Structures are given as structure tokens and as C-alpha cells.
């Protein structure tokens, strides 16, 4: 389903962010949208919100205020804005003014056709005006299966010329169901996208801040995103033993997930940089590990760890890389897609510090974002799905 940006009298290029934590969903939607809509020529609204709201009422409030401006969004595991991180609220980003063209798209039933869903929404980019700079912003259901397949589908349509960026929706770590937003519709098991073309550049930064722990292991048996054996031993047993996991993680699924948030799996890549995989859950019956994305059989893997210092250093590096992509232009704003596992490492005080760092890099420009179940950033090559990583998009 495609939507196009209505033409209106234009102002200078701009990005603005509104936030509300009003418990009433319609009121919260109206408040956040009103704050974000600084001008009458918005091209796109991006909504990050808690699923504690009745999302249909939240969207009704936003659309009542905006008059139906093209909109994508998703539920979160926490929201980010310049005044800090938060939960149980809504953050609305508006992009508008001269030099932007926007098309939005959605694909439903994604879990049964991940690659096809990625390709379907990528077709929105073919509707764009041929400006010098283009990007595809993807928001997906992180519980739908191997997210790398969505990236492969989009890449198959767009090739290497159009970068991909975005994140996987959350549900406050319940791991039950996430929601995607498109126009006035609340979806699940879906992919939503906004294709943007711009007369000014986009910049993307991707950093994780995790370090290898111990010796490498061979993934001796896996299937898609499930790891059954490491070094010919049951994967769960190896994970618990080598990481000296606390006793409660050996039989309690919730305790295991909390522990695994800060102990990801690193995969060897030809570039020499490890690709991080979130270990989302474990089967105590077949002793396997469930990851958010594919773990190839026959590859090398490591357990990884991080601390507040390494994670915050990665925040600075990701912001710096994103801003470098603007070629010296000041940013209109920054969007941050931050893995919920990094939040687990930093703690409540640490995430306040992290958002403050992003704001300092923005140098007065607005910031917005959310805590994700996985991050998307493809600047080169077909690979573009990440876990336990910070992805920053800078708009010039």
C-alpha cells in the first residue's frame, strides 16, 4: 500500500520532534503531533510509541492534528528524545520543507514471506523524484523471523545505490507481539517503510561496543536463526558453562533472556568486524539458542561482553560517523535506533548519559529514536541487519 506526500506551500527544510506522556492515547497523539508540526509543509511523520496505549486511538489523535500527512511508526521498548529516554509515551518526528520527496509503503503477513515483504516495501523508492540522495527507512516486526531476509528483499530491489536504515519494533521486552503503524492503521507481523529523496545528504553511523570473550567456537549445527550445536556440543550448555551463567538462568526462560541481553553472540565476517547477534531465548528441551537473525552453520562465533564505557564510546563513534556523512553540513536532526540490550548494560543512569551524548553531537538539532529488538543499516554489501548495536541517521 503506497501513500504520497501532499503538496503544500513550503518552508525551509526542517525536522522537528514532539513528545507526550499523557496517559490518554488520543490526547498524547494530539500533543506530540502539535509540537512536531512546526510548519504547514510536513512531508512525513515518524511515530515511536509504547504499546501500553490503545494504538488506534493514539493514531486518531495524531492524524486529527496532522490532517493525514503520510505516517509510519512502531511500538517500542522505550522512546528517545532530546529531553532524555522514557517509557510509556509517544515521540513524533516531522520532516518537511523544500528538497524532500517521500513515499510510504507497508507489507503485511511478513513472517510467512520475509524476503518478499522487504522487496514489496522497497518498491516505494521507485516512486521517488530523482534527487541526488535517497534512503529507505524500515520499521519491522522483530519477532517475525530472520530480519536479514527483509534486508535481502529490499536490497534485491534497490541494489547498492540506496542505503537502508531503521529498526525492529518492541513490546517492552514481553516478546509477545509488536506493532507497526502505517497511516491510520495498526499492524502486526508487518514491515512499514518510508522512502526519502533529498537534495542534501544523509549520514549513517553503526557501532556496537562489544568485545570478544574467550576462544572462538564453530557453529556445528544451526538452522536459520536457531543454533543447536557449538563445537559439537548442545549450544545452550556451552553458553551457560562458558559464561558462568547464574543458576536461575538454567531453567527459567525469563531469567535466561535477561542474562542473554548483555551476552550476545559475535559472528566472524570477512571484513574483520564481528556481527553481533542477540540471543533472545533458549529451549530447555533441545538445548538450543534462539537468535533474532540467521546464524550460519559452519561459521566461527564468539561470546561477547561490554560495559558502560565501551557502549558509550560506541555512541560517540556512531554519531561521529553519521555526521561525517553530511560532508560538513549541519544536521537537521538525528534519529537513533538503539538496541534494548545496550540499555540493559547502561542502566537507568547510563541511558540518560547516552541520550545526552547524542544531543551534544546534534549541537542543537532535534533528536528522536527508540529502543529496538534489532537494527537495520546497510551502506554497502547485502548484509545490513544488526543486533545490540546503535544505528544513527543524520539528515542534512
Cβ atoms of residues 275 and 198 within 8 Å: no
Cβ atoms of residues 240 and 249 within 8 Å: yes
DSSP-assigned letters across all residues of 17-84:
EEEE--SSHHHHHHHHHHHH--SS-EEEEEEEE-TTS-HHHHHHHHHHHHTS--EEEEE-SSEEETTE
Structure confidence at residue 2 (pLDDT): 41
Which of 26-30, 85-89, 124-128, 197-201 is predicted least confidently? Answer: 124-128
- Nearest of 394, 395, 390 to residue 354 by alpha carbon: 390
Distance between CA atoms of 227 and 301, rounded to whole angstroms? 11
Cβ atoms of residues 240 and 250 within 8 Å: yes
Structure confidence at residue 49 (pLDDT): 98
Residues 6+ away with beta carbon under 8 Å from 134: 125, 128, 161, 162, 195, 196, 197, 198
**Mean pLDDT of all residues in 350-375:** 96
**pLDDT per residue over 185-219, tens digit each?**
999 999 999 999 999 999 999 998 888 888 999 99
Structure confidence at residue 7 (pLDDT): 33
- By CB atoms closer than 10 A (0-12, 13-18, 19+), residue 37 is buried
Cβ atoms of residues 171 and 178 within 8 Å: yes
72 vs 3 pLDDT, higher one: 72
Structure confidence at residue 393 (pLDDT): 98
Cβ atoms of residues 192 and 181 within 8 Å: yes
**Mean pLDDT of all residues in 141-157:** 92
Residue 10 binned pLDDT confidence (cut-offs 50, 70, 90):
very low
- Nearest of 161, 172, 115 to residue 140 by alpha carbon: 115
Mean pLDDT over the full length of the chain = 92
Distance between CA atoms of 260 and 245, rounded to whole angstroms? 9
**pLDDT per residue over 48-67, tens digit each?**
999 999 999 999 999 999 99
Structure confidence at residue 4 (pLDDT): 36
Whole-structure pTM value? 0.88
**Mean pLDDT of all residues in 225-241:** 97
43, three cell numbers: 512531508
Cβ atoms of residues 89 and 172 within 8 Å: no
**Mean pLDDT of all residues in 339-352:** 90
Structure confidence at residue 344 (pLDDT): 80
Percent pLDDT > 70 in the chain is 94
**Mean pLDDT of all residues in 223-246:** 96
Question: Is the pLDDT at 382 greater than 80, yes or no?
Answer: no
Question: Is the pLDDT at 367 greater than 90, yes or no?
Answer: yes
**Mean pLDDT of all residues in 279-295:** 92
For the chain, the residue count is: 396
**Mean pLDDT of all residues in 252-273:** 83
Distance between CA atoms of 178 and 140, rounded to whole angstroms? 9
> How many other CB atoms sit within 10 Å of the CB of residue 8?
14
Q: How far is CA 58 from CA 30, 125, 184, 287, 368, in A?
A: 8, 28, 10, 41, 18
Structure confidence at residue 302 (pLDDT): 93
Structure confidence at residue 6 (pLDDT): 35
DSSP-assigned letters across all residues of 333-371:
EEEEEEEHHHHHHHHHHHHHHHHHHHHHHHTTS-EEEEE
Residue 384: strand, helix, or coil: coil
Amino acid at each position: 500500500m503506497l501513500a504520497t506526500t501532499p503538496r503544500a506551500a513550503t518552508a525551509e527544510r526542517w525536522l522537528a520532534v514532539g513528545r507526550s506522556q499523557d496517559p490518554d492515547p488520543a490526547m498524547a497523539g494530539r500533543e506530540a503531533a502539535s509540537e512536531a508540526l512546526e510548519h504547514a509543509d510536513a512531508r512525513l511523520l515518524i511515530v515511536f510509541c509504547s504499546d501500553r496505549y490503545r494504538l488506534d486511538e493514539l493514531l486518531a489523535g495524531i492524524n486529527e492534528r496532522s490532517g493525514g500527512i503520510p505516517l509510519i511508526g512502531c511500538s517500542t521498548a522505550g522512546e528517545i528524545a532530546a529531553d532524555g529516554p522514557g517509557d510509556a509515551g509517544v515521540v513524533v518526528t516531522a520532516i518537511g520543507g523544500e528538497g524532500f520527496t517521500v513515499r510510504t509503503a507497508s507489507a503485511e503477513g511478513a513472517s510467512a514471506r520475509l524476503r518478499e515483504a522487504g522487496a514489496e516495501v522497497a518498491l516505494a523508492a521507485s516512486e521517488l523524484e530523482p534527487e541526488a540522495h535517497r534512503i529507505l527507512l524500515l520499521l519491522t516486526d522483530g519477532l517475525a523471523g530472520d530480519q536479514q531476509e527483509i534486508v535481502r528483499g529490499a536490497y534485491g530491489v534497490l541494489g547498492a545505490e540506496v542505503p537502508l536504515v531503521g529498526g525492529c519494533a518492541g513490546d517492552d521486552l514481553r516478546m509477545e507481539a509488536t506493532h507497526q503503524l502505517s497511516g491510520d492503521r495498526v499492524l502486526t507481523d508487518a514491515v512499514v517503510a518510508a522512502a526519502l529523496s533529498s537534495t542534501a545528504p544523509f549520514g549513517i553511523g553503526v557501532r556496537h561496543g562489544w568485545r570478544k570473550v574467550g576462544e572462538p567456537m564453530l557453529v556445528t549445527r544451526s538452522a536459520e536463526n536457531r543454533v543447536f550445536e557449538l563445537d559439537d556440543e548442545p549450544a545452550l550448555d556451552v553458553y551457560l558453562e562458558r559464561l558462568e551463567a547464574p543458576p536461575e538462568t538454567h531453567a527459567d526462560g525469563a531469567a535466561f533472556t535477561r542474562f542473554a541481553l548483555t551476552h550476545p553472540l559475535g559472528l566472524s565476517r570477512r571484513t574483520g568486524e564481528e556481527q553481533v547477534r542477540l540471543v533472545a531465548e533458549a529451549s530447555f528441551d533441545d538445548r538450543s539458542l534462539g537468535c533474532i537473525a540467521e546464524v550460519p552453520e559452519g561459521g566461527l562465533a564468539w561470546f561477547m561482553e561490554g560495559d558502560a564505557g565501551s557502549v558509550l564510546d560506541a555512541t560517540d563513534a556512531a554519531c561521529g560517523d553519521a555526521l561525517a556523512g553530511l560532508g560538513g553540513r549541519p544536521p537537521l536532526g538525528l534519529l537513533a535506533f538503539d538496541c534494548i540490550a545496550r540499555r540493559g548494560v547502561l542502566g537507568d543512569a547510563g541511558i540518560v548519559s547516552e541520550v545526552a551524548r547524542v544531543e551534544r553531537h546534534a549541537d542543537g538539532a532535534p533528536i528522536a529514536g527508540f529502543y529496538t529488538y534489532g537494527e537495520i543499516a546497510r551502506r554497502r554489501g547485502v548484509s545490513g541487519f544488526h543486533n545490540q548495536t546503535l544505528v544513527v541517521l543524520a539528515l542534512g
